Amino acid sequence: MSEKKPRVVCYLNQFFGQIGGEDKADTPPHIEMKAVGPAGALDTELGDVANVVATVICGDNYINEKDKAYSQVADLINSAEPDLVVAGPAFNAGRYGMACAKACEVAGEELNIPAVSGMYEENPGLDPAKRYAYIVPTPDSAAGMRKALPQMAGLITKILKNEELGPPEEEGYFPRGQRKTLFADKRGSLRAVEMLLKRLAGEDIETELPMPVFDEVEPAPAVREINKSTVALVSSGGIVPAKNPDSIESASATKYGRYSLKGHNDMRQLDYRSIHGGYDSVYANEDGNRVVPLDVMRELEERGEVGKLHDYYYVTTGTGTSVANAKKMGEDIAQELKDSGVQAVILTST
């Protein structure tokens, strides 16, 4: 029995999906169980490697403006049972690029399958899409279609054959912002000495780690009446119930916990401990108030200096925890606190 050919689903906008121009940009998504327009050309390029089994077509305004569009597109793509999603190419069309990014996100986030697209380097869709897709650089207009499709087909072929993809500059896709760990020919110390000698000789060097650019967070305005506010404790100090019920990692945390303080005035009354892998936890285990200052908060509460201590504290471990995970956890915790009517937070670190 011959193996089943992998199934590719293409996402196109109203124009490339052959519905019409700007006047059709509000068209809701639909699926055609065949390769439409450039998807047909791609199907030919793919030859025996894969079949383009369906094309999902949606208006650029619709997908970018309607909240429900993402799940509609996701359902349609999913219904065709793809092994890989192709979006565009979008060239320098901004709204189309953003639409392609959504289709790529469907592949990566919802279906956990690879995605391939093509865009011009200034397309605003490139940044949100590259996280989920291998994106081939294209010229800024559709005149580049002939060049883009074979390149995309080449990448698709490698991916579907489970061949390991080389670095972006070798394979011809935009860097995806992923740091891949691998073995170098020389040990790190020798690479450092050689890099320094090059710098001292005035030669060009290529850093192995370009510096990150950080987000700037504007502080929230000051709390006006702290004596009437509900205040929560949030900590990256790793104090959890002794059995660590949520299996929070001792380093590189991906999870946080929410634990009740109701009816307690002192962390020492609770069978809690530190699971943090980045500091000497002896003193925190002796007295958990040192990391989660429940005792002091109760005193302030009693004296009326703070309105009320929130019934739960939130905690994770802040060592080796990636900024991306920290950001996600921070957003979720902040939302939960807001929903619970908390007005202020004391963050304790270690």
Partner 1 sequence: MKLEIGEVQIEDIKLGEQTKIEDGLLHVSRAELRKLLLEDKRLAAVEMTVARPGDKTRIIPVKDVIEPRVRLDNEITGYPGVTDKMGRVGAGRTLALKGAAVVTTGDIVAIQEGLIDMWGEGAKYTPFSQTCNLVLTFTPRRNLEAHQHEEAVREAGLKAAEYLGKAAENMEPDNINTYDLPAMNKRGEEVEGLPRVAYLKMLIAQGLLHDSYIYGIDAKETLPTWIHPNEILDGALVSGNCVAACDKITTYQHQNNSIILDLYDRHGKDLNFLGVVLTPELTTFTGKVRACEHATGLIKTMGADGVIISEEGYGNPDSDLLQNCKLLEEDGIKTVLITDECAGNDGFSQSLADTSSVAKAVISTGNVSHMVKLDPAERVIGNIGSLANLAGGSGDSFCDDGSIVCELNAIIGSTSEIGYHNLTARQY
Q: Give residues in contact with partner 1 (CB under 8 A).
A: 131, 165, 167-168, 175-193, 195-197, 199-200, 205, 207-214, 244, 247, 249-252, 254, 275-282, 318-325
Minimum distance, C-beta of residue 129 to partner 1, in the bound complex (Å): 13
The C-alpha atoms of residue 273 and residue 106 are separated, in whole angstroms, by: 40
Cβ proximity of 31 and 55 under 8 Å: yes
Minimum distance from residue 254 beta carbon to partner 1 (Å): 7
In the bound state with partner 1, the residue whose beta carbon lies nearer, of 164 and 218, is 164
| Beta carbon nearer to partner 1, 27 or 117 | 117
SS3 (DSSP) at 115: strand
Residue among 1 and 213 whose Cβ is closer to partner 1: 213
What's the min distance (Å) between Cβ of 176 and partner 1?
6
Q: How far is the CB of 186 from partner 1 (least distance, A)?
A: 7
Query: Which run of H or of E encompasses 309?
Result: strand 308-309
Between residues 155 and 342, which has the closer beta carbon with respect to partner 1? 155
State the minimum distance, in angstroms, from the CB of residue 192 to partner 1. Answer: 5
Least separation in angstroms between residue 31's CB and partner 1 is 30
Q: Which is nearer to partner 1, 199 or 264 (CB)?
A: 199
**Is 209 buried (19+), middle (13-18) or exposed (0-12) by CB count in 10 A?**
exposed
Q: Report the residue number, 1 or 211, with the smaller CB distance to partner 1.
A: 211
- Please state whether 73 falls in left (phi above 0), alpha (psi between -120 and 50) or beta: alpha
Q: Tell me the sheet residues that pair with 117.
A: 87, 135
Q: In whole angstroms, how close is the CB of 188 to partner 1 at the nearest point?
A: 3
Query: Which CB sits closer to partner 1, 231 or 253?
Result: 253
H/E element, 118: strand 115-119
Cis peptide before 89 (omega within 30 of 0): yes
**Could you write out the three-class secondary structure of 317-340?**
ECCCCCHHHHHHHHHHHHHHHHHC
The CA distance from 99 to 63, in Å, is: 6
Contact 239, 292 (CB under 8 A): yes
Q: Which of 219, 264, 273, 269 is nearest to 245 (CA)?
A: 273
